[in-house]
A and B are shown apart, each in its own frame.
Chain A
Amino acid sequence: MPTIAIVILILFSAALAGVVVARPAITASSAGKILAFGVLFFLPLFSLVAGMDNEMERSKSTAFCLSCHIMDSYGKSLDIDDPSYLAAAHFQNHRVPADEACYTCHTNYAMFGTFKAKLGGLRHLYVYYLKKMPLPQDIKLHEPFNNRECLHCHLGARSFEQGATHNADPATLPAIKANTLSCVSSGCHDVVHNVGHWGDKVKFWDGGS
């Protein structure tokens, strides 16, 4: 449901609730009782659920994640003009949806994954507003990156299953799939955002414009 539609629904509900507040005596009639039930029970709860759902969807957007200043460098890393940077290569080649780039890789593709990811986001808010903020380069993942998030897309893909490096050793592919050999921290795809380690030579893609 579009945000503007929910806002209109909310304002409409508030206006109707205002009628009950101004003239509670109208609830003496059957029509008034139905109106009161609609505007003091059904519409507020429906609006709340619709609003929360809308916020949950919005919280998946790249713009939402990058709206905190501390994430600026991570957003900038998506535009690095170097295919060895994993996040940039995925973002620029649309291997992940550009408008949900952060969420696509950093969510948890297990049961209640989105819920767990959002709980993690609440911890970010807690640190952002109530604790001393770390430097961008000091930000760490809550837990080691699970290959499951990579395999959600790459499992079964020909480039992954038949890739020369992945098949150089027969033990490699099973180890990746079992999450005993990390995709991003075992020396294979370990250049991800690398915030704080860019140096002077790093160039940025202008987005094709």
Chain B
Amino acid sequence: MRSGDSLNRRLRISGILVIIGLLVEALCLVWSRPIAFVVLVCLGGALIGLGVLLFLYSLVSGPAHPANASGVAQDKH
């Protein structure tokens, strides 16, 4: 149950980072100034990258599938 909460929390944070990154990117695209490109890459890119990495991390660190978990248990016996 706790690992499920942890997974949900990671997904939430990942989603928030991605949303903020996407909004920064959208603002940069409508903001026609040379600095917009730098903000898009450095800030937008970093936020989206962090969000995506956190999502990937939440996939590999999530709770084990019940079938796998029982398989591990059987192996132990």
Report Cα–Cα, A130/B52, bound state, in Å.
Answer: 32
- The 8 Å CB contact of A51, one of B15, B25, B34, B56, is B25
Question: What is the minimal beta-carbon distance from B60 to any residue of chain A, in angstroms?
Answer: 13
Which segment of A19-27, A141-149, A158-166 sits at the interface?
A19-27
A20: chain B residues at CB < 8 Å are: 11-12, 15
Q: Is the CB of A44 within 8 A of B34?
A: no
Say whether, besides A21-B15, A40-B15, A14 and B23 are in contact (CB < 8 Å): yes
For residue A179, CB closer than 8 A to chain B, the reply is no
Give the A-B pair count, Cβ closer than 8 A. 106
A17 touching B32 by the CB < 8 A rule?
Answer: no
Among B21, B29, B32, B38, which residue has its beta carbon within 8 angstroms of that of A44? B21
CB contact between B16 and one of A21, A25, A129 (< 8 Å): that residue: A21
Of B11, B23, B33, B51, the residue contacting A24 (CB under 8 A) is B11
Interface SS of chain B: helix, strand, loop or mixed? helix
Most buried by A among B14, B23, B35: B14
Interface contact B48-A48, CB-CB below 8 Å: yes
Shortest B39–chain A CB gap in Å is: 10
Q: For the complex, is A41 an interface residue (Cβ under 8 Å from B)?
A: yes
Q: Which of B28, B34, B51 contacts A67, CB < 8 Å?
A: B34
**Chain B residues at the A interface, C-beta cutoff of 8 Å:** 7-9, 11-12, 14-16, 18-19, 21-23, 25-26, 28-30, 32-38, 40-41, 44-45, 48, 51-52, 55-56
